[in-house]
Structure formats: C-alpha cells, structure tokens
Amino acid sequence: MGTKITYERWINLFLPDGWTEREEMGYILLEKENWPGMVQLTFIVRDEKDLGGENNTSPEEAAKILLEDILEDRDIPFPREAVVVENKGNTGMATVDYTHAGKEESTHWRIWMVVDKTRAFMAAYISNPEHDAPHLVEASRIIADIEFIPDTSN
C-alpha cells in the first residue's frame, strides 16, 4: 500500500511498504531495512540569476545546469555525456547514471535533479555496482512518483 508524506510547500512523497524517511540537517534520507544503501533528497530554491535569466530557463535546462553545477562544486567526477534530460510538462528532470572505477572499489552513481518553475530537489543513490539490482529500480520508481505541490504563492 505505501505511505504518502507531504513536505510543506514542496513535494508529496509516496513511499512503498517497508520504507522509512527521516529528516537530517538539510536533507531527507529514505531507507529500507536490509537495503544496501539509501536515497538522499535535498531541496533547492531555484535562483534564476544563477541560471542566466529571469525565469526564462526551461525546467529541463535548469535541471541540467543545477545538476552539473552541484556535481562540479562537490568535486564529483562525472561524464557530461552521461547526463540525460527529460521534459515532464511543468517540470524538468536531469539524471546522471554511471559507474566510477575508483582505486579501491567501484561506485555506481544515480543522481536526479527535478525542477519546476521556482523549486528543485536533488535525489542521490550511491552504491556498489554489485548491489544495484533490484534496488536501483525501486529507488527510481520512488523518485518518479514524487510530485511537486502546486505553488500557490502567486
């Protein structure tokens, strides 16, 4: 059945059975018992000045810019050609999905940036590639089901 959780003025989150959420300083962790990892959600207020315009940037282009900028700021190595952009009507989504072969062990990254006209959230699932299936599919479904609460401040 699952649980619907509302984060005031931001999103509705639909968690499948067995999942829990907890708020930390500045982000939300989604966890499932005996699951080899977690999903982290971070909320971002979209600042058009940083995107080169005054609400002229489409949500999908803003998602790509924000995703690339955040990854660069955090010194996370990623291939730009791995970023996939999607138009979802009033929202845009940019996703990067790749495996980074480190010196000690490989790390699989799936990071989503979902953007509407004034808000964004970033979701990250980072794991050992050996533990991706079926966990990455389940995490992807949770992110796909998140919906922005309509902005009524206008």
Question: What are the structural domain ranges in the chain?
Answer: 3-148
Residue 30 CA to residue 39 CA, distance in Å, equals 5
* Token reading at 19: 């999942």
Q: Which CATH class is domain 3-148?
A: alpha beta
For the beta carbon of residue 14, count every other beta carbon within 10 angstroms.
Answer: 16
Q: Please name the residues in contact with 116: beta carbons below 8 A apart, sequence gap of 6 or more.
A: 46, 59, 90, 91, 148, 151
The pLDDT of residue 65 is above 80: yes
pTM of the model: 0.84
In this prediction, residue 142 carries a pLDDT of: 92
Query: Which tens digits make up the pLDDT trace of 73-116?
Result: 988 778 888 899 999 888 999 999 878 776 677 777 789 999 98
In this prediction, residue 146 carries a pLDDT of: 92
Query: Which tens digits make up the pLDDT trace of 106-133?
Result: 777 789 999 988 889 999 987 777 766 7
